Amino acid sequence: MVTSDDRCSEENRPRSGLNRREFLPFLGAATLVTVAPRALAAAPSRGSHSGDDDRAEDRFVYVGTYTAPGIAPGGHVPSTAVGIYVFRMNGDDGGLTPIEVVTTDNPSFLALDPSLTHLYSTNENGADGHNVPLGRVSAYAIDKRSGTLSLLNTALTNGTFPAHLSVHPSGKYLLGSNYGTGNFPIYRILADGSIGARTDDFHDAGNGTGPNPDRQEGPHAHQILTDLDARHVFGVDLGADKVMAWNLDLDTGRLSPNTVPSAPVASGSGCRHMAFHQSREFAYVLDELVSSITAFHYDPTRGAFIWLQTISTLPAGFTGFNTTAEIRIHPNGHFLYNTNRGHNSVAMFRIDPDTGRLNVIGWESTRGDWPRGMNIDPSGTFLYAANQNSDTIVIFRLDRSNGTLHATGEVVHTPTPVDVEFGPQA
């Protein structure tokens, strides 16, 4: 079993060109978030944009963190974060105004239900001194008028370091993944949005080990999600170098292996996250350990994958240490983005609409250190890069014509941000 020390050190390796973390004074939760004045933020690089199409909807935004007193994976010093940070997004410039800080432990990944009335978080904890797993998931009700959260309940994940969760599009089930112990727990969601009984807990029958002895000594469940039409459920296992495919029985909440039970990536790649294209024809798997993206043709009926392409997320000639973190597809389906930790960039790709192959657009600095989290607002206007080790969220405007990113000058200073999720309109 992976210990908390192993988890915290898994990404903490020497690498070049990184800035030291800068912390805001810890004066209480209300003072932990500040918005940089435009004059003090990174100089904006404006693309061509004008008109109503360049305004997003005002909405509430939720930021997950690794909390004090721990050191985040890949971090250098103890975090000062205390929980989930709630913001109001300005649709004109993408800026975030702090609303609330909800105290909880290590809410490293967040997910909302289809109605945007409930939020669910991981509590990414390891084991106690007796090796009893302490991982949890928690449920919150969202006040749609204010965006604030009210805790409903929390549930053990029967494992360690739950790194990802998602809500089934039916709204009936919460899907979880324990990175440390490699299992995927499933929970029923009750009528009030709270977490009900665990209906399944899938663990791969094999030993789940890959060839990388530092990171693949066992199974590591890193993500669980459905395809866009909720026909199938997929579990991304970094330790086993494969994406597992299941069918979910909506009456019982039980997973059963798909007819094609898995899709492999290249040995030692360490698949982390994946994203499905809006056409339902393509899927893209982010390979953390080798900094690549594996593109597949996807058959939504069979839930099966056929390899198309593997492409590096780094520019030619880069020799420093790097691991990838997040992958997102623009709402218009034309562009794909991922974050590089070490190179400290967002890699930008154009998606060929006919073949699904990726073509490099370029790389944009995240203007910070260790960009673990990244997301695109639902309108496709702004991209948010969460720099874990420099305690900043840097906001970029997306050029829909060519996929490039342009810093708006809006920088939010908030401790150890690692996931950004979008809630109801404000």
Per-residue pLDDT reduced to its tens digit, 258-314: 999 999 999 999 999 999 999 999 999 999 999 999 999 999 999 999 999 999 999
Q: What pLDDT, on the 0 to 100 scale, is given for residue 40?
A: 28
pLDDT-derived band of residue 116, with 50, 70 and 90 as boundaries? very high
Domain around 197: 4-425
CA dist., res. 133 & res. 33, Å (int): 32
Q: What pLDDT, on the 0 to 100 scale, is given for residue 10?
A: 44
* Least trusted range by pLDDT, from 17-26, 52-61, 296-305: 17-26
Of 171, 180, 80, which is closest to residue 122 (Cα–Cα)? Answer: 180
Q: What's the mean per-residue pLDDT of the chain?
A: 90
pLDDT digits (tens, 9 = 90+) for 218-242: 999 999 999 999 999 999 999 999 9
pLDDT at 12 exceeding the cut of 70 = no
Q: What pLDDT, on the 0 to 100 scale, is given for residue 158?
A: 98
pLDDT at 41 exceeding the cut of 80 = no
How many domains does one find in the chain?
Answer: 1
pLDDT digits (tens, 9 = 90+) for 373-398: 999 999 999 999 999 999 999 999 99
Q: What pLDDT, on the 0 to 100 scale, is given for residue 59?
A: 98
pLDDT at 32 exceeding the cut of 90 = no
258-281: b (≥16 Cβ within 10 Å) or e: beeebbebeeebbbbbbbbbeeeb
Average pLDDT over residues 173-178: 98
162 neighbors 187 (Cβ within 8 angstroms):
no
Average pLDDT over residues 145-170: 98
Average pLDDT over residues 324-350: 98
DSSP for 207-227 reads ----S-TTT-SS--EEEEEE-
Q: Which helix (H) or strand (E) holds 5?
A: helix 4-9
Of 398, 388, 386, 394, which is closest to residue 410 (Cα–Cα)? Answer: 394
Q: How many CA atoms lie within 13 A of 136 on its CB side?
A: 12
pLDDT at 11 exceeding the cut of 80 = no
What is the domain-level CATH number for residue 330? 2.130.10.10
